[in-house]
Amino acid sequence: MPAAGALAQGPHAPAAGFRYGAPVTVYRTRFAPSPTGQMHLGHARTHLVAWLRARDAGGRVLMRIEDLDRPRVVEGAAEGLLRDHEWLGLDWDEGPLRQSTRSARYEEALDVLRAAGRAYPCTCSRKDIAQAASAPHDREPVYPGTCREGPTQPWRPRAWRFRVEDADRRGFEDGVLGAVPPPAPDAMGDFVLRRADGLFAYQLAVTVDDADEGVTEVVRGADLVASTPRQLALYRALGLRAPAFAHVALAVDGQGRRLAKRDGAQSIASLRAAGVSPERILGALACSLGLTASAAPVSLAELRGRLDLSRLPPGPARLALAG
């Protein structure tokens, strides 16, 4: 496989404003890591599912670096993420596409939403929203629509929000979870498209990118299920073709905690440095997904043809490897 740098500059790398005009008939999925830390076992587990889906279908894998939130980007992390994917054998066919090069495209999409009356300026702070809204303690407060009729504090910097309508609160069919019910009104309020500091928000950027790159199925962690109705609403409002979605149950550590960068989850780089082989990691990942009966080392070639989304474990899987 070519080196990550070669792929970034190679003939398959899409331009910053790249868009597919014709209907996409080949299966296309993507890896979309954020360069805010190292790749851990949970990321690798989900990306293994995406890779197998594409390779079994004779499709293509796209690499995207989701580096929009520049204050959180860690220097060198993007290169490390690419290196970890290569080392595991989780190769890709196009990219990497970097979101930080795509602001003009996101602005174009925001203009469409403004013209349609689906985006409005908001001057509320996080504190304002927390005081005005009520939500369970395990959920972020839902925006109560304070600025829907105009900014209430026009001297403040403005964010832009998507105007959610009742018809936007729809369920969807998930490749792993099956029928996902519509979100309740108190679980889906008007959400941010561009922050007050000028940075575009995840929901808008990922929707535009997946549509522009012709992604036919998004494979990602179950922690993003709640984002899907928001993104489907954006697809409809922008007149874009939506992909299918498959949300893989999360991996947890020995104490049952979700694997996360901020909690120091075991990284692929640390395992490699400790002498753990790619096949041993793949064996642990495959077993946690129900693809193999044991966690014995296994190659990617041996895993081809074994994946069935409908048979993936519905709940969190414990995942840890000794160095």
- Residue-level pLDDT at 20: 52
State both tokens at 202: 């995840």
- Residue-level pLDDT at 25: 77
Q: In the chain, pLDDT over 70 holds for what percent of residues?
A: 83
pLDDT at 264 over 60: no
pLDDT at 220 over 90: yes
DSSP 152: S
Global confidence as pTM: 0.87
pLDDT at 11 over 50: no
Q: Is there a contact between 220 and 244 (Cβ–Cβ < 8 Å)?
A: no
Residue 277 CB partners (closer than 8 Å, separation 6+) = 297
Over residues 292-302, the mean pLDDT reads: 95
pLDDT top residue among 189 and 24? 189
- Residue-level pLDDT at 145: 85
Question: If 0-12 CB within 10 Å is exposed, 13-18 middle and 19+ buried, where does residue 186 land?
Answer: middle
Least confident window among 62-71, 222-231, 265-274: 265-274
The segment with the largest mean pLDDT, out of 45-59, 128-142, 262-276, is 45-59
State both tokens at 103: 């602001």
Topology at the third CATH level for domain 4-100+249-318:
Rossmann fold (3.40.50)
pLDDT at 305 over 60: yes
Q: Are domains 4-100+249-318 and 104-205 of this chain identical in fold?
A: yes
Topology at the third CATH level for domain 104-205:
Rossmann fold (3.40.50)
Least confident window among 2-11, 127-136, 159-168: 2-11
The domain segmentation of the chain, as residue ranges, is: 4-100+249-318, 104-205
